[in-house]
Structure 1
Amino acid sequence: MLTYPIIDPVAISLGPIKVHWYGLMYLIGIGGAWLLLTKRVTRSYSPIKPDALEDLVFYAAMGVIFGGRLGYIIFYNFPQFIDNPLILFKVWEGGMSFHGGLLGVIIAMWVSARKNQCTMLALTDFIAPVVPVGLFFGRIGNFINAELWGRPTDVYWAFVFPGAGPIARHPSQLYEAGLEGLALFLILWIYSNKQRPYMAVSGMFALFYGIFRFIVEFYRVPDAHLGYLAMDWLTMGQILSAPLIVVGIILLSIAYTKNSLPD
């Protein structure tokens, strides 16, 4: 068993202004994704011009933040929101949904596509390889917050998390950082290093994120107020991730059947 590194959730404190590690991880993730997109936007098959990148990243970031928070409230915490609507704004306490953030980004890409006179899927193909950067740092933020911990285990890399009792548990946040973050990034970055059929990169993202998240849910404790939704193992995360696997397969099938190239 490993000793959990107790970290103050507040990274920087300047009088009444407090910058939490959780929010800082999102900023680092968005900044890292932006940096990588500056390399992708120079490729001949980029759907946008370099001078449009700043607006695209801004819209995507807003989609992540607002969509992620709204998704968490709707999918995981709606009854508490009804009791106390102000929890919508307490982002520093954690509580962001990837699936809500994904919907937010899709809406942002739809808006950006209209401005840039291209298709939404051309933009999702463009940004998909860098999304795992944000996912990686977001999961590190979960680990620092000591939230979303895993199921009890006796593996030697287990942690006793604050607030989770004296039982050693899987560090499921780090599993997600490794799979949804690092592994997914390597898969998509290498795959997209050359031009692929239109919507294929988006399909790869949906497929592998859905698979990785579905797997990690077996090691992660579901939200206490939701618990297991069926068969003593099915979680909300798996219900929301399963359609992504299906969508990924469909997009890849269409992409390679039509053998089309991005606009």
Structure 2
Amino acid sequence: MIPLLIPYWAPKVVNVGPVPIDPWATLVLIGLVVGLEISRARGIKRGLEVPDVVDGAMFTVGMGFVVGHIMHVLAYNPERLETDGVMALVRVWQGFSSTGGFIGAVIGSVLFWRVIRPRDYFAHADTIMFAFPFAWVFGRLGCFAAHDHIGRSSDFFLAVNFPLPTGPRHDLGLYEALWTVVISAVFFALDRKPRKGGFYIALWAFLYAPARFVLDFLRNEDLANSDVRWVGLTPAQWGMIVMFGAGAFLAYKLRGAPDSAGSSSAPASE
């Protein structure tokens, strides 16, 4: 038998008084704090107003969670609408789709920096995009800690030895966390000189979307929690095609735009 590097552990919830502490929520919260702090520091470095950066980041994250849950229900678990009605959409704590989260983040950032508090959109959105991979590492480690994304059977050395009858399988939360560490390192290395506003948004699409598209082929199709497939692809894979295309379009639009070491926080002209 090939020894597996990672033994299985059962996710546990620890109650601290009336407050339940679970590994997923804890790591996601850590990621949120890390992302906000990096965004805040980067905003100061770029000459942006801290409230504009932090408030916009929180609004963007909030929209990400809301739309992420809506897509989780509509795309992955539509049967919940039959049993719970509209409340299935309201209970935003009951599951999230990361692809829906990305859609919500785009909607949230556009609403905040174009409508609610008009500012230089790409200067601000790229500031929080730079911080995002560092936060996403913790989010995906939370998925790994909770075993939210159990994949196909495998004897790969990074597989998790789940109890029988599930057996050894890929754990996609771990794989994505590891790849996001690489993306974070690339972002950090490229930050040594000024970049165009929108640069890191496009770079994220180029680095993340292809990897996520490939990794989703490792998702299980034989367990009760198997993801739905649309014409042979998961909803996330279709989303990654759109993300990559959007990144390519943005990169094309950024050609010839000047690099910027900083950016004014004055309201954008409409």
TM-score, L = length of structure 2: 0.82
Structure 2: gaps spanning 5 or more residues:
264-270
Q: Does structure 1 residue 9 correspond to structure 2 residue 7?
A: no
Q: 2:118 & 2:88 partners in 1: Cα distance?
A: 38
The change in CA–CA distance for 1:112 and 1:227 in structure 2 (over 3 A counts) is: closer
Q: Does structure 1 residue 210 correspond to structure 2 residue 209?
A: yes
Structure 1: gaps spanning 5 or more residues:
none
Q: 2:257 aligns with which of 239, 256, 259?
A: 259
1:126-141 aligned at under 5 Å gives the runs 126-141=127-142
Q: 1:226 & 1:5 partners in 2: Cα distance?
A: 22
Kindly state the Cα deviation for residue 173 of structure 1 after the two structures are TM-superposed: 1.4
Residue in 2 that maps onto 1:177:
177
The more displaced of 68-77 and 220-229 is 220-229
Q: 1:169 & 1:220 partners in 2: Cα distance?
A: 10
The change in CA–CA distance for 1:8 and 1:153 in structure 2 (over 3 A counts) is: closer
Kindly state the Cα deviation for residue 260 of structure 1 after the two structures are TM-superposed: 3.7
Q: Deviations over 1:110-164 (max 9, x none)?
A: 23314543243332211111111232122111122122112111223322335x7
Q: 1:214 & 1:141 partners in 2: Cα distance?
A: 20
Contact 1:4 1:159 in 2 (8 A): yes
Higher RCO (CA 8 Å, separation ≥ 6 residues): 2
Contact 1:128 1:188 in 2 (8 A): no
Residue in 2 that maps onto 1:31:
33
Residue in 2 that maps onto 1:235:
234
1:186-201 aligned at under 5 Å gives the runs 186-201=185-200
1:1-263 aligned at under 5 Å gives the runs 1-10=4-13, 12-44=14-46, 46=47, 48-85=48-85, 86-88=87-89, 89=91, 91=93, 95-114=95-114, 115-161=116-162, 165-179=165-179, 181-221=180-220, 224=225, 226-231=227-232, 234-256=233-255, 258-261=256-259
Corresponding pairs, count: 253
The more displaced of 211-220 and 1-10 is 1-10
- The CA RMSD measured in Å over matched residues stands at 2.5
Q: Residue 161 of structure 2 aligns to which amino acid in structure 1?
A: V
TM-score, L = length of structure 1: 0.84
Kindly state the Cα deviation for residue 70 of structure 1 after the two structures are TM-superposed: 1.8
Q: Residue 244 of structure 1 aligns to which amino acid in structure 2?
A: M
Q: 2:92 & 2:118 partners in 1: Cα distance?
A: 37
The change in CA–CA distance for 1:141 and 1:77 in structure 2 (over 3 A counts) is: same
Contact 2:39 2:54 in 1 (8 A): no
Kindly state the Cα deviation for residue 43 of structure 1 after the two structures are TM-superposed: 2.0
The change in CA–CA distance for 1:49 and 1:193 in structure 2 (over 3 A counts) is: farther
Q: 1:117 & 1:170 partners in 2: Cα distance?
A: 44
Kindly state the Cα deviation for residue 57 of structure 1 after the two structures are TM-superposed: 2.9
Kindly state the Cα deviation for residue 215 of structure 1 after the two structures are TM-superposed: 1.8
Kindly state the Cα deviation for residue 224 of structure 1 after the two structures are TM-superposed: 4.2
Kindly state the Cα deviation for residue 96 of structure 1 after the two structures are TM-superposed: 1.4
